Structure formats: structure tokens, C-alpha cells
Structure 1
């Protein structure tokens, strides 16, 4: 059932006509029900529609300068105004004129001389349709947002599961994902992309679920065979996440596969080099190693922050992209704040760095 809008001035009607008498008559017929805005040229109509909320437009065709058809085409070409219903009001009553009006985006066509009850009825009908369309779009956006949030929550839960499987705490995931966002913003990544990286980064080690406990939980230094087994977690993670059209899952699978690649081409599993490594993984590599350095592990104590920063700088151009290292260094105050805010319970603030495994190990 079509629900008609209430008659109140919340709805704004833009009248576009170069004839002042036509404007006056329409204004008198409609002003008790609607807020009225007026333009006598197509160019002015575009300016008004872009600068303030307009719910519907009554548009003349024969005007000096930009005619009504061209005005409508311009309205429909602009994302900011394309959704506004346009009703043509014209003395041109030929079928060809009506066809052109509908073809360029009009929703209705009224011929002059107008009958005001007809104009009011058409306005009410199209405002009702427009209102319902906007409500539907809002519901779709809400459902889409809810679905995206559910996917994010699932990814974060799986990421935490992988960390607990590796005898690490969920705070590693939190710290590392925040580091990724901070470094990405300093590098010049858009906010949307930086947020996407922050969301998918906890999934980078999901493949460790498939690594045997005898290797994953080994407290001694890993031997060559152990390393070959644990390096399989990249491919395993990619296989777990699979191929999916969602940018969220596609990005998660990509970082799972490539987060151990190195800028100099000596990483794994595919020995990618330089910018062949996805940017998300080049950023994540620094965030992950920095958190590994500054956190306690079964085989080492936490490094002091200054020593960890020095190690990141030392590996610039080999393990890490130099430009990402520079972004990391510019971000140190924010990174240190995250390190403090999400510190593991009982973890010492600093300690000797002599027991650390090299950064090209499984960390």
C-alpha cells in the first residue's frame, strides 16, 4: 500500500520556470503544503539543488540558456542530486517531448495550462514514492552495515583463536592491528583502507591453526625442518579464508599469504620482492615484528622500545620497505601509547634483547 506523505512544510519543492506569472500561480497553489524554492534559470536550479535539501522539482522546458531537458540531465549526472524526482511542467505536449523528458530522467510530465489539483496529486504521489525509496535505501544500508560488522567480529574472533593457539594473548592482536592503522595513515593510506587493514590484520596468522603442536609450541629454537613446517601457515591461512568477492575476506586472505614476504625478496612463501608485496602486508610486517620484539615469548623476554625501534631501522631496505619504516618512525608517539595502553598483564616494561630470535624467523 502506498503511504502518502503528510501535508507539512518539511517537504521542499523547487519551482524552475523563467515566467514569473507561472511561478506565482504555482507558489500560491502549493505554499500551504510545502516549502517553496524558486529558480528562473536551469543553472540556478542546479545551484539550489546542490546547496540545500530539495525533495522534488517542477521543471519548465523552454528557458533561456540551459533548457529543462539539459537541466534534468545535469541533475541526474550528479550523485548529489540524481535521486531528486523531476516533474516536467511544459506547454510542449507532443509525445516526442514527453519521451525526451522521461528519457533524460523525469518521473512525470504535466502539460500547461496546469490544473492545480492535478499538480498537487502528482506531487503527493511522487513524494510518497521518493520517501519510501529513501526508507528502503536506509534499511539496505543498515543491513549492509550489520553484515559487515558481523564479518568483522568473526574475523577478530578467529584471529584471537589463532593467537591463543600460539600461546600468545589477545592483546597482541589488538596492539598489532592498531599499529597497522597508525602506520598506514602515516604512509598516506586513506582512512577507509587503513580501517580495512586494522580489521583484517588479526587474521594474518590464522594458518597456525594447522601447524602441529610439536612445532608451534616448541620452546627451543626451531631447526630447519621445524621452519619448513611452520612456514606452511601462510598457505594454510590463505586456504582457510579462501577466495571470496568480499573486499574484507579477500584482504584477509591476502595478508595471511604474504605477511612474511620481505622487501629484498628473501621472505616466504613466494619470495616476492619490493612492491610486488601487497602494501597491507608491507605495513603489517613492521607492526607484527615490532610487537614480537617488545612482547614476552616462551623463548625470549621483551625488548626495550628503543632497541626494537633500532632493529626496525636496521632492517629497512632488507626486511622492510624504507618508506614504511619512515612512516613507522613518524608514528612512534602514537605507537608507544598503544603499547602502554594494551600492555600484557605482568609483562615487564623492558629487558635485555639478547635472547631474541632474528626477525626473519617465524615471528
Structure 2
């Protein structure tokens, strides 16, 4: 069903054109004697064809076409303008202003039918192409979501593979990733960056896959030499992920390499300082340490939230970016919700 908008200040002309439109079949006619009211209707309705007279009070046909074309999404709707035979200058101006075709008075029934059908066929083709484009875009979005979901699943499983060799838990991965997102929110990062760090942060320790068990699982304090080997997991994680075409894995590579850097330059592996440390690395440094402190493990009890916050505060400007610490504390209700949602299984103390 096509919607045909007819605008003419003459009731006789409105009646005549409506009758001609109804003979086309599968058409609904919307009539206006006042072009200003017609324009107001067009703000919330999109006709398939506009038939507008030139000579009208308040707003002539040329001004109506200009105002109509200025409305969002109305630039392709076909317009027929009704003019007198001697108004060639008007027709030229209307063509430049956005009219597609003309009817001359008195309106010929056969000519009207041919021109109107041509315009409606044009509109049908436009709508078909628009619908097909939207359908194809939906298919692309669906396929992209599926690829993204598989990518996120692979990332999580790779992260768990590293954690299986370390006395951490899957809940730790979830918590620190969501803490990282909370800090990104507190810092006012763009929504895309907030989502990216949520998806990439779980890769922070993936390089531990390459650390020998006798070091990774050693219950006591590491020797200086062993700690140097352990520190290598940052570069290992980076090398594993850096050449990916995935923006998530590339962000994960940056996080793996930089989340052990310290704000005062005493971290590793590159001894970066301050804002030379990428923001994702600065964020994950706070999120990872906060969760490690407040989580119970076989070799330690969990710190209280108060003690953990005090540790972060004491480390402002030394270990941690002060703004990241402030952002975590500013999102405290979100932090508490994350702790509640992602809880570890009970781990017995030994």
C-alpha cells in the first residue's frame, strides 16, 4: 500500500487528484489544503509520493519542496508538482529545488496515471534496496557477533589455560576484568574502550604458559634468578598476542606487557614511568593487585577491603596511577557488585 500526499488549496483539485490516485490501486491518499499543516504531518510520516500545487497561500510549492527535502530521510521521496502550462521558469526552479516530475493544468487523466505510476515504481525500488541493505547489514552484524563471541570464548579459555598452571581461579579473571572496566568508566573513557578492556584484560597473565612449573608453582619465595624468569611472562604474553588482527588480542598484548610497570618507573619489563605506561596497563595494574589482595588463596588469607584500599592509597604515584586508584574508589558500588557476582569457591587453608 502506497501513501500519496496531496497538497492543494483548492478543494475541487484535491477531490479530483484523490480520485485519480485511488484508480491507481493499492494507494492511500492523504489530503491537505494547507501546506504548513502538510509539512507538519511530514515530520512524523514518510509518504511514498508527494503531489503539490505551485500556487498556494502561506507557502508556495517551491518553498514546500525545499522544506520537505530538508527533513531527515525525505530526500528520495518522489515529488510531482502541478503547474500551469506557461510556468516554465517555475518548473526549472522546481527541478533544481528537488521536484522529480510535473503535471500541467488541466490535469490529463492518462498523463497523470503514467507519471504517478512511474514515481511509485521508483519509490518501490528505493524501498526494496533500502530493505535489502538493512537485511544485509543485519546479516553482517549477526555474523560479526558470532565471530566476536567465538573470539571472546577463545580468549577466556586461553586465559584459563594460563591460570590452571597458577593458583588463581576463573573468578579472578572475571573480577579483575570487570574491575578494569569499572576503572575505565571512572576515568571517563569512551564506551568502546570500556568494552575493549573488559574483553582484553583476562589475557594479562597469558604469558605464564611459558613459565616452568618449578618457578610458577613454587610455594616459597623466589630467588633473584627465579624472579627474573617469572618476570619474563610479561614479554611472553606480548609476543604471543602482538601480531593478531584482532583488536582484543592486540589490546591483550599491550596489557600483558605493561600491567607490571609501576607509575614511578620501578616496574618491569621496560621500567616505563607515569603516562608513558599505556592507560590499559595502568588500569589493569590497579585491578589485578586489588583482586589479588582481597582474594583468599591456599597460601594466604584475603585482605580486608579497608586494608586493600589503604594499600592502593599508599601506592598512589609510586606503584599506581593516582587517577586509576581514584576511579576504582569512585566506582565503589560497582566494585562491591562485582565481588558479589564473581565469587571463588571456598579454598581450604593449608
TM-score normalised by length of structure 2: 0.76
Whole-Å Cα distance in 2 between the matches of residues 304 and 65 of structure 1?
Answer: 71
2:126 equivalent in structure 1: 126
- State the Cα distance separating 1:279 from its structure 2 match: 1.7
Pairwise CA RMSD: 3.9
Aligned counterpart, 2:160: 160
Correspondence 1:15-94 to 2 at 5 A: 20=9, 29=21, 33=27, 40=35, 48=42, 52=44, 54=46, 58=50, 64=62, 68=66, 81=73, 85-87=76-78, 89=80
For residues 299 and 329 of structure 1, do their structure 2 counterparts lie closer, same or farther at Cα, with a shift above 3 Å needed? same
Structure 1 pair 247–118 and aligned structure 2 pair: CA distance change class (3 A): same
Partner of 2:201: 201
Measure how far apart 1:85 and its partner are: 3.6
Q: Could you say which structure has the larger radius of gyration?
A: 2
**How much does 1:183 deviate?**
2.2
Distance 1:55 1:65 in 2: 18
| CA contact 2:298–2:347 (8 Å) conserved in 1 | no
Secondary structure of the corresponding residue to residue 263 of structure 2: coil
How far residue 176 of structure 1 moved from its aligned partner, in angstroms, is 1.0
Moved over 6 A (4+): 21-28, 59-62, 96-101
Please state whether the residue corresponding to 1:296 is helix, strand or coil: coil
Deviation at 1:132, TM superposition (A): 1.8
CA distance in 2, matches of 1:251, 1:139: 27
What TM-score, normalized to structure 1? 0.73
Q: Which runs of 5+ in 1 are unaligned?
A: 1-6, 352-363
Q: 1:192/1:310 Cα in 2 relative to 1: closer, same or farther (>3 Å)? A: same
Residues 181 and 168 of structure 1: CA distance in aligned 2, closer, same or farther (over 3 Å): same
Secondary structure in structure 1 of the residue aligned to 2:78:
strand
Q: Is 1:218 aligned to 2:209, yes or no? A: no
* CA displacement at 1:300 relative to structure 2: 2.9
Give, in angstroms, the shift of residue 57 of structure 1: 6.6
Q: 2:320 aligned with 1:326, yes or no?
A: no
What secondary structure, in the 3-state scheme, does the structure 2 residue paired with 1:207 have? helix
Rounded to whole Å, the distance in 1 between the matches of 2:323 and 2:150 is 34
Deviation track 1:82-117 (CA, whole Å, cap 9, x = no partner) reads: 9x7443545889xx999979xxxx9x9444455422
Show structure 2 runs of 5+ residues with no match: 55-59, 105-111
Equivalent residue number for residue 107 of structure 2: none
